[in-house]
Structure 1
Amino acid sequence: MSRIAALAGNNYFILFLLFFGWILAYLDRMVISVALTSIGSDLHLEASSLGIVLSSFFAGYALMQIPGGWLADKYGSKRIMIVALIMWSLFTAMTGLAWSLMSLLAIRFLFGIGESGFPAASSKAIAEYFPKAGRAKAQSAMLSSNAFGAALAPLFAAPMMIWLGWRKMFVMIALVGFILAVVYAIFLRKPVQRGDDSAKPSEQSMSLKDLLQTPTMWKLVVAWFGLDVVLWGFASWLPSYLLKVRNLDLLQAGYVASLPFFAGGIAMLLGGWLVDRYFAGREKYFAIVVQIAGVIFLYLMFTTKGLESAILYQILSAFFLYAGFAGIWSLPVKILPTEVMGSASGMINFGGQVAGFVSPMVMGFLITAFNGSYDAAFWFLILSAVISIIACMTLGNTQKSLQTRVAG
């Protein structure tokens, strides 16, 4: 018992649990991208229908982002994360039981609702367990799981599909989620109120209504929407692109599709450190520069003829785009009080999940409309990145803007 208590009192062990929870969340939602070709073949679905399937998860996920953040603020991060783990694991298992397009749409929509409380609750947990001075690095470390989870999904899914088939693969992954829910129940302790987090009077008056009426928050929502369109489109369709356009086999595509996201995970860890050390108060400039670099390499990726150069460019594109992830998400954990961290995270992530709904579906329709060509779909991603860059350019002094709005 004393060893359990010691682990529960260790913030970095808690960060590891949050990181692993995010890894599992990304595995559960991203392995379907690797299974997409097999699912389409078994259920007789074309690219446009499969794009809707990918987007149906994000419809439910986006719908509950702001309510999920409010619930995390009201009931605490631990309860919401455990409920989310149980719910998304249940619908992961049910994905393997789908028998038609409509059943798959319903299951993935409910999957999104079930998982929706986890992002805001985990960001609130960072605010609950870490002092303000260490939150940006802790948040970047936790959210680097987004890239690492996307990297592990094809490496894990491809051999599992060959061994078990796509249906049993989903059931096996679901079992891990149920086990992790038990681990969370045992090891996540009640957070202690921190002296450095005792809010000023103006901060204590901040509410969800204040956040919804603050233009700066909506600029962050748009910035995250634009970037996440790129990240979700990239993650959702890259395995199929490698299979159909670059003519790789399933194992090769799984391996190559994982490389950009390993690079992205490293970029997020590095980005969190760079933002804290060199871009404090200038986070928007960091996000702008790295996104411009990411867009350039994305263009080079789908226009180059050589396979080796395409792989190199996709790795470099993901590296810079995921660094932008760290730049945007460093802002809320630095400047907002713990009391509204769940609501603020839910609000910003709402933009990202609307992007997750729009991106795979639009790309699927564009691929179908252009007779299997992915070029128009990638141009759509570039346009979305430009929207994010413009939104970042409009950001002023974010902290001053928020404090002025609340004080007023």
Structure 2
Amino acid sequence: MKKTNARWLVVALLFVATTINYMDRAILGVAGPAMMEDLSLTPVQFGLLGSAFFWSYALMQIPVGMIVDRLGARLTYSIAIVWWSLCTIFTGFGRSLGALIGIRVLMGIGEAPAFPTNTRVISDWLPSHERGIANGIFNSGTAIGIGMSTPLLAWVIQNWGWQAAFVVVGAIGFIWLAFWLIYFKNQPKDSTLANEAEVAYIKADESETEKAPALNISPFKLLKFKNVYPLLYGLFAHNYLTYLMMTWLPIYLVTERDMNLINAGFFTMLPWIMSFFGNILGGFLSDGLIKRGWNSIKARKTILGIGMLFPLLLIPTIFAESAVMAIVYISIAIGGEGIAAGILWATVSDVAPKGAEGKLAGLQNFIGNLAGWIAPVATGVLVAKLNNFDIALIIPVIICLVASVGYLFVLKNERISIDEDFGKGIKA
């Protein structure tokens, strides 16, 4: 019997959901100039608004895995996308800073299950040797959601106002929900789209890691291992750069580079297109090194270390006289850092103790998203105090440079191991 390919339809649904997820996050940055003018928001107030989403989003990362396991991916994603889509729509009706902050905090709760649910779906629906490609596909939706939508959103804002843009983007989630409920089941065996041959193919090569029993330990106990820290800090560094650009890049181009909103929307797209290809290239390069016989952690940390050096290109951005050259430097910086972004999560699977991959992933996502608390606000404060973006652009350069050093010289080429008696067997 020839196997079906329903698993790739599921991956496509995850890609679209991730794209919508990041569109709903990124629209705040595109609408920023109009919102700041209409609501008389200062840079510091807008930075606070940009940060509010991450207050709840980061805190939810630890418990959200248990929610996914209890409710199942189908119901969890359904509730999540309805929740965050409604919050996006309601943002368009906010008229005070306090109301908008409250809506963004609620939105962070709604979006928190997205990536843990994606990971669970990939685990259930893809054989182990196809999961790298599948993760790369759905994760590329982050770059598409941030970048590709900006010209269209800028056009909507220019013609219909910033409130309409939030309503339009929020409505898209309900369209996706219909396809999700029609086509997705939690397990391949329950789907009418996957035949017996495909179900057998998916389950045929479960990895040793999957067969390992889950470790019943607190994620915070993993902090006893030195190999954990480069991973936690590395995602923090990646997110600091990402969330700074997601929140402030359109405003930077409008205020610092004197672009109109339509042009800013178009040029904002370019760095994220580069990031899309960087994500794919990073996975390709690290897999290529592994095929050449490299230790998997050594291969991935080498690419991570190289990718984290590209934000150095933000320094000549400060001195670029033309807006075009500034966006060229920013595009190379974000695209090159995307080489690292593409394998951040694959490295967790290589380093984590067997049976604790999910716990380390949740801990990494919690620490990494604390950058969302800091980057938007810190940038707003610096812009307000200095009346330019110079120092705000130098900070992610330093943060990412430290991450590169951590990957290359601190992260060891071995999986963390835990003895049966956790208190007696610790290997760092």
| TM-score, with length taken from structure 1 | 0.91
66-75 vs 315-324, greater mean Cα deviation: 66-75
Amino acid at match of 1:173: V
1:226-248 residue CA offsets vs partner (Å, 9 max, x unmatched): 12101111221111111111111
Q: Kindly report which structure 2 residues correspond to 1:144-163, keeping only aligned pairs within 5 A, or say none.
A: 144-163=140-159
301-310 vs 116-125, greater mean Cα deviation: 301-310
**Per the alignment, do residues 47 and 401 of structure 1 end up closer, same or farther by CA in structure 2, a change over 3 Å counting?**
same
**Per the alignment, do residues 386 and 402 of structure 1 end up closer, same or farther by CA in structure 2, a change over 3 Å counting?**
farther
The equivalent residue for 2:401 is: 386
The Cα shift of 1:327 comes to 2.6
The equivalent residue for 1:62 is: 58
The question of whether the paired residues in 2 share the 8 Å contact of 1:203 and 1:337 is answered with no
Pick from 164, 167, 173: which aligns with 1:171? 167
**Per the alignment, do residues 183 and 221 of structure 1 end up closer, same or farther by CA in structure 2, a change over 3 Å counting?**
same
Pick from 196, 199, 209: which aligns with 2:218? 209
Instruction: Give the whole-Å Cα distance in 2 for the aligned partners of 1:376 and 1:302.
Output: 9
The question of whether the paired residues in 1 share the 8 Å contact of 2:270 and 2:331 is answered with yes
Instruction: Give the whole-Å Cα distance in 1 for the aligned partners of 2:372 and 2:47.
Output: 11
The equivalent residue for 2:128 is: 132
The question of whether the paired residues in 2 share the 8 Å contact of 1:128 and 1:338 is answered with no
Instruction: Give the whole-Å Cα distance in 1 for the aligned partners of 2:366 and 2:210.
Output: 28
Matched, 1:248 2:259: yes
The equivalent residue for 1:321 is: 337
The equivalent residue for 2:274 is: 263
Give the SS at the match of 1:206. Answer: coil
Instruction: Give the whole-Å Cα distance in 1 for the aligned partners of 2:114 and 2:108.
Output: 11
The Cα shift of 1:405 comes to 8.6
The question of whether the paired residues in 2 share the 8 Å contact of 1:38 and 1:166 is answered with yes
The Cα shift of 1:397 comes to 2.4
The equivalent residue for 2:100 is: 104
Pick from 220, 229, 238: which aligns with 2:231? 220
Amino acid at match of 1:332: V
Where does structure 1 lack aligned partners over 5 or more consecutive residues? 1-5
Instruction: Give the whole-Å Cα distance in 1 for the aligned partners of 2:242 and 2:94.
Output: 27
The question of whether the paired residues in 2 share the 8 Å contact of 1:120 and 1:343 is answered with no
1:175-214 residue CA offsets vs partner (Å, 9 max, x unmatched): 1112212221221123258243265698214245267425
**Per the alignment, do residues 200 and 132 of structure 1 end up closer, same or farther by CA in structure 2, a change over 3 Å counting?**
closer
Matched, 1:183 2:179: yes
User: Which structure is richer in relative contact order (CA contacts within 8 A, separation 6 or more)?
Assistant: 1
197-206 vs 20-29, greater mean Cα deviation: 197-206
Amino acid at match of 2:117: A
Pick from 411, 414, 422: which aligns with 1:395? 411
323-332 vs 39-48, greater mean Cα deviation: 323-332
Q: Which has the higher helix share?
A: 1
Give the SS at the match of 1:99. Answer: coil
Cα RMSD (Å) = 2.4
**Per the alignment, do residues 197 and 334 of structure 1 end up closer, same or farther by CA in structure 2, a change over 3 Å counting?**
farther
Pick from 118, 121, 136: which aligns with 1:122? 118
Give the SS at the match of 1:235. Answer: helix
The question of whether the paired residues in 2 share the 8 Å contact of 1:287 and 1:323 is answered with yes
The Cα shift of 1:257 comes to 0.9
1:64-92 residue CA offsets vs partner (Å, 9 max, x unmatched): 01111222234333322222111100100
The Cα shift of 1:310 comes to 1.5
The Cα shift of 1:157 comes to 1.1
Matched, 1:41 2:49: no
| TM-score, with length taken from structure 2 | 0.87
Instruction: Give the whole-Å Cα distance in 2 for the aligned partners of 1:386 and 1:187.
Output: 44
The equivalent residue for 1:302 is: 318
**Per the alignment, do residues 30 and 201 of structure 1 end up closer, same or farther by CA in structure 2, a change over 3 Å counting?**
closer
Instruction: Give the whole-Å Cα distance in 2 for the aligned partners of 1:68 and 1:212.
Output: 18
106-115 vs 181-190, greater mean Cα deviation: 181-190
The equivalent residue for 1:71 is: 67
Instruction: Give the whole-Å Cα distance in 2 for the aligned partners of 1:221 and 1:309.
Output: 33
Amino acid at match of 2:44: S
Where does structure 2 lack aligned partners over 5 or more consecutive residues? 189-201, 291-295
The question of whether the paired residues in 2 share the 8 Å contact of 1:58 and 1:112 is answered with yes
Larger radius of gyration: 2
Give the SS at the match of 1:197. Answer: coil
Amino acid at match of 2:328: L
The equivalent residue for 1:288 is: 305
Q: Kindly report which structure 2 residues correspond to 1:316-395, keeping only aligned pairs within 5 A, or say none.
A: 316-333=332-349, 342-370=358-386, 372-393=387-408, 394-395=410-411
1:98-139 residue CA offsets vs partner (Å, 9 max, x unmatched): 010000110001101111111111122112211222212211
The Cα shift of 1:268 comes to 0.6
Instruction: Give the whole-Å Cα distance in 2 for the aligned partners of 1:151 and 1:68.
Output: 27
